Amino acid sequence: MIRLDHFVLNIDNKPVELNHLKKQIANVGYPFEPTWGKGTKGFKAANIWIGEQYFELIWLLTKDGGGWKDDWVEKYNKGHRGIIALYLMTDELDNIRESLIDRGIQVSEPQRISFRWFFGLLEKKMPWRSLFTPPIPGTSLQICFAALDSPQLMERVRQYMVPNSSDHGIVGIKEAIIANNFSEEALNYLKKLFPDSKQQGSYLVYDMGFTRLFFESWRETTPLSIELRAATTNQTYANKDFQIENVKVTNIFYPTSAAQDLLFYRRMGKGYPLILIHGAMVSGAMFSLKSVAEELSKDFDVIIPDLRGHGKSKNMPGPYTTAQHAEDIKKLSDAINIKNAYILGISYGGVVAQQITHSYPSLVNKLILGGTFSYNKITLREKIEAIIALLAMRLLGATRLLHLGVNYNPELKNEPVLKKEMQKMFADNDPKAAEATMKEVFTFDSRSWVHHIHCPTLVIEGSASITVPVHHAYFLHDKIKGSQLEIFEDASHVLLWTHSERFVNVVKNFLGRYPDVP
C-alpha cells in the first residue's frame, strides 16, 4: 500500500506573512498554528493538516539549518522557495527500495531525519525511515518514500494532527496536479518511479486509491507548479482556494453519491484486507482503545472507516440508515480497489456488516459479528425497553441519552477510562445522526434473510452482556448455517476492551493469515 503523506515546502522566515497566511487559510477551512511543530535554533517546521495528509512548511533560522537535511539547507540558502519534496507513506519500504534499484534509480539507504536540540546535547530522531530519490530531472522536486517504525505508531502520530481541516469537512487531497515542461528524460524517470502509472492524454497518472498524482507536461517553459484538489463535504468551503509559493489548493465539493469522497478512514498494516466497523455513535477510534486494530494490523491490511455522521465523517449529510452505511462501505472498498475482504462489525457495526453481506455478498470473504443482533426486540422486555428508549430520546435528545447510558451502564461500572473515551466519541458525532442511528438500532430486522448468509461466519458475545443479551448470539449462530460461536464467559458487551487479547486471538484464529478462495 502506498498513500500520499505530505509535501515539504520552503518558505521565507517572515512572521508577519505567516500570521497573514494563518488568517487567510482559516477562511478557506484550514486551521493553522505557525508556532506549533518541530524545530531547533537553526530551522522551524509548521504543519497544515488535511485529514492525515499535510503541508510541512520549513524556514531556516540560521545558515547551517540547525540539523535540517543538508542538501535542502543548501538549496534554501541559494534561494529555493516552494515545494521541494513529496512524501509517500508505505509499509513495504525495503521492497520498494529493491524495486527502484532494479529499475535503475539511484536511491538512498533508509534514513532517519534527526536533529540536535537543547544546546546540541540531545538528538531527536523521527520515528520513521525515509528513502530519498534524485530530484525529477529539470526540477528540484524529490519523491520520497517513508515507513513508520511500526503500525502502532500511527495512533500516537494522530494525536499531533491538530488543528485539522477535517473538523471543517475537508478530508484529504484527492488530486495533485504537478505541472512542468517535463523533458523526455523526466517523463521516463517518472515512469520508472511509478511503473503502474498510465498515460492519459497529456497526463501521466499514478492512482493510489484515495489520491491520484497527475504529472502534466506543458510545452511552455514555465516553473514547476502544483495544484491540489482537496475533497470537502462542507459546501461553505467549496471552490475556495489559497496559495503558498508554487502550490495552489482548491476545495472541491463531492456529493453524497460518491461515498468515498466523504468517508474518513484509517488504514494500517499489510496482508489480506480486514474492514473493522464500529458501533453506534462512537467511531473507528474504538478499535484503538486497547490496541485491537494495531494488533490485527500485524497480520492484515486493516481499514477502519468512520460511518456516515460519526467521528471524522460527522459532516456527511443523511440518510443515516443501515442500508446507506453499507453502501458507503461498498463504495469505499471500490475506491481503494478492494474487491474482497474480511468484515468485522461490533454492536451496530455488526448490523451494518450483516447488511453488507446481504447487499454485496461478493465483497465478503469471511464475516465476524461481535455483540450484535438480527432483531433487537425479540423478548417482551426488549420491546418495552425500546419504547422507553425512543420516548426518552424524544425528551432528552440522543446525545444526552447516550451520555446518561454510559454513566449508569453497569457494564462500565469499573471502567472509568472507557467511560471517558466513549463520552469523547459521543461528543464528536452529529446529533441528528445520533438520533437516526439509534432508531436504526431498534428497527433493523434481518430475520427474513439472515439465513441466506453463506460465507464463513464467526459470532462473538459475552455471556454477561446486558446491552445485547447473549440469546441474540445464539439466534445468529442458529440461523447462519455453519457459523462458529464464541461465548466469552462472564464478559459483557464491552469485551472488545475488557478481553482484548483474547478477542484478537479468536479473530486471528478464525481468519487465519491467508484468505480462503471465495
| 155-174 per-position pLDDT tens digit | 677 778 889 998 888 989 98
Exposure of 450 in the CB half-sphere (CA atoms within 13 A) = 27
The β-bridge partners of 370 are 346, 460
Return the residue matching grid coordinates 510541512: 56
Euclidean distance between CA atoms 400 and 435, whole angstroms: 11
pLDDT of amino acid 18: 93
Q: What CATH number is associated with residue 6?
A: 3.10.180.10
**pLDDT, tens only, 101-150:** 999 999 999 988 766 666 666 777 777 899 999 999 999 999 999 998 87
431 within some domain: yes
Element (H, E) at 408: none
Euclidean distance between CA atoms 416 and 439, whole angstroms: 27
Query: Does 195 lie in the same domain as 323?
Result: no
283 within some domain: yes
Q: What is the DSSP letter of 255?
A: -
Query: Does 317 lie in the same domain as 178?
Result: no
Q: Is the pLDDT of residue 260 over 60?
A: no
More confident residue, 367 or 198: 367
482 within some domain: yes
Give the end of a domain, one of 226, 253, 280: 253
To the nearest 10°, the Cα dihedral for 217, 142, 30, 114? 180
Q: How many other CB atoms are found less than 10 A from the CB of residue 512?
A: 12
Give the end of a domain, one of 201, 234, 253: 253
311 within some domain: yes
The β-bridge partners of 302 are 268, 274
**pLDDT, tens only, 231-249:** 887 889 988 999 999 999 9
Query: Does 397 lie in the same domain as 268?
Result: yes
Query: Does 314 lie in the same domain as 167?
Result: no
Q: Is the pLDDT of residue 47 over 70?
A: yes
Query: Does 225 lie in the same domain as 339?
Result: no
Query: Does 306 lie in the same domain as 201?
Result: no
Euclidean distance between CA atoms 469 and 472, whole angstroms: 6
Q: Is the dihedral of CA 501, 503, 504, 505 positive or negative?
A: positive
Cell of 32: 493553522
Mean pLDDT confidence for 373-379: 90
Beta strands 53-60 and 114-117: pairing type?
A: unpaired
Beta strands 2-10 and 82-90: pairing type?
A: antiparallel
> How does residue 257 score in pLDDT terms, banded at 50, 70 and 90?
very low
- Give the predicted TM-score (pTM) of the model: 0.58
Query: Does 312 lie in the same domain as 195?
Result: no
Determine contact, residues 307/181, Cβ cutoff 8 Å.
Answer: no
Query: Does 307 lie in the same domain as 358?
Result: yes
Range of the domain at 64: 2-253
Q: Where would I find the beta strands (DSSP E) of 77-224?
A: 82-90, 114-117, 122-125, 128-132, 142-148, 170-180, 198-200, 203-207, 212-217
Give the end of a domain, one of 189, 218, 253: 253
Query: Does 247 lie in the same domain as 272?
Result: no
Euclidean distance between CA atoms 73 and 38, whole angstroms: 16
Beta strands 128-132 and 142-148: pairing type?
A: antiparallel
> Structurally, how many domains does the chain consist of?
2
Q: Is the pLDDT of residue 259 over 60?
A: no
Query: Does 192 lie in the same domain as 119?
Result: yes
Residues ≥6 apart with Cβ < 8 Å to 443: none
517 within some domain: no
Query: Does 109 lie in the same domain as 30?
Result: yes
Q: Which of 404, 436, 413, 396 is nearest to 280 (CA)?
A: 436
137 within some domain: yes
pLDDT of amino acid 13: 92
Q: How far is CA 59 from CA 73, 141, 413, 439, in A?
A: 9, 17, 51, 52
Q: What CATH number is associated with residue 453?
A: 3.40.50.1820
Query: Does 225 lie in the same domain as 93?
Result: yes
Q: Is the pLDDT of residue 428 over 70?
A: no
> How does residue 408 score in pLDDT terms, banded at 50, 70 and 90?
low
518 within some domain: no
Percent of the chain with pLDDT over 90: 52
215 within some domain: yes
